[in-house]
Structure 1
Amino acid sequence: MARLESDLKVKELENYQDKEVLKSDVLVNGSIFQIWKVRLPFLIITLIGGMLAGAVVGAFEEALEAIVILAIFIPVIMDMGGNAGTQSSSIFTRAFVLGQITFDTWKKHLVKEIKVGLSMGAALGVAACAIATMWQGIFELGVVVGLSLFFTVTIATTLGFLIPYILLKLGFDQAAGSDPFITTIKDVTGLLIYFGLASVLLAHLM
């Protein structure tokens, strides 16, 4: 029985690798139209996500006008979230290809990745809080930046693992689709968290 399960897992991995080779061949050697069909839809998702992120910033325009310093930390939060998500996505993809993560064991690894995201988010959040406070001399601003970074890194790390898995499960090309989905969700949620916290903790400065 154990031998049969092992053979099935090996077969599952081989099937996945064969599919990925075919997808990779299309992305590298296919016609421009074939490449478009794979890549363009995901870029359109990113475009829509960028518009949504812009709408979030626009919704908090008064807060930005009242506290211009908020704009300084937006790239930090967005970039750190993006880097965390990319790390997680790359690690998941490599581990899945090597058979270290399977459709049977993914939940265990997801829980571990969430813990990693929480711990990294906490460490980076504390550091960002201290730096922002010392730099601008406003403790509440430091708390806003620190908490925003904590939540954004945690969410991005989780998405970096979960989205490639979902795309694989649904039969989509996770190589082309993971980053656009991660970026879109991370940017919108990160900005909502950042400006939401600022509206509460920095209300006295507005």
Structure 2
Amino acid sequence: MAGAVIGTFEETLETMAAVAFFIPLIMDMGGNLGTQSSSIFTRAYVLGHINMKAFSKHLAKEVGVGLSIGVMLGILAAIAATVWQGSPELGIAVGLALAATCTLASGLGFFIPWILVRLGMDQVAGSDPIITTIKDITGLLIYFFLINQFVGLI
């Protein structure tokens, strides 16, 4: 499915090859945060630190952490992309995409295991593949949408 998303934006990649340089960064950092959040949820759940009735409070806190990390990484990536490629528009798109993907991934990393627990399934085995799939597809969609909004390649 991620390949289909990339294929949909093939013209964008052909128009500006530098767009492809940042795909691994956005996908990998989102994956790192999603996996980290999933591990945090599992550890806290097993140790009894998560009150399942107040789950939304725990989720909001984790999304806030993801947003904070995403904004910091996004600013650094925006500066690097702008300096390296000489395109502030590309830098803005990369930075915003990284911030949004990291925020989304941290939320998914907490939310997906919770859903699996609620369904009586093993959240440890099932979380990461589901998180990675959703995050990869949505992260690419966010990235290419922002590229087309700020860089205007299509």
TM-score range, shorter chain: over 0.9
Alpha-carbon distance in structure 2 between the residues aligned to 1:113 and 1:201? 29
Alpha-carbon distance in structure 2 between the residues aligned to 1:99 and 1:172? 17
Alpha-carbon distance in structure 1 between the residues aligned to 2:124 and 2:64? 24
Q: Which residue of 1 aligns with 2:119?
A: 170
Amino acid in structure 2 at the alignment position of 1:110: L
Q: Deviations over 1:19-43 (max 9, x none)?
A: xxxxxxxxxxxxxxxxxxxxxxxxx
Structure with bigger RCO (C-alpha 8 Å, 6+ apart): 2
Amino acid in structure 1 at the alignment position of 2:85: Q
Match status 1:72 vs 2:21: yes
Q: How far 1:104 moved relative to its partner?
A: 2.0
User: SS in structure 2 opposite 1:190?
Assistant: helix
Q: So what's the TM-score if we normalise by structure 1?
A: 0.73
Q: How far 1:102 moved relative to its partner?
A: 2.8
Q: How far 1:200 moved relative to its partner?
A: 1.7
Amino acid in structure 1 at the alignment position of 2:39: S
**Greater gyration radius:** 1
Moved over 3 A (4+): none
Match status 1:145 vs 2:94: yes
Residue identity over aligned pairs, in percent, reads: 62
Q: How far 1:105 moved relative to its partner?
A: 2.7
Amino acid in structure 1 at the alignment position of 2:104: I
Alpha-carbon distance in structure 2 between the residues aligned to 1:108 and 1:99? 15
Q: How far 1:189 moved relative to its partner?
A: 0.5
Q: So what's the TM-score if we normalise by structure 2?
A: 0.96
Alpha-carbon distance in structure 2 between the residues aligned to 1:96 and 1:175? 11
Q: Which residue of 2 aligns with 1:199?
A: 148
Q: Deviations over 1:152-197 (max 9, x none)?
A: 0000000000000000000111111100110011000000011111
Extract unaligned runs of 5+ from structure 1: 1-51
Match status 1:114 vs 2:63: yes
Alpha-carbon distance in structure 2 between the residues aligned to 1:201 and 1:183? 26
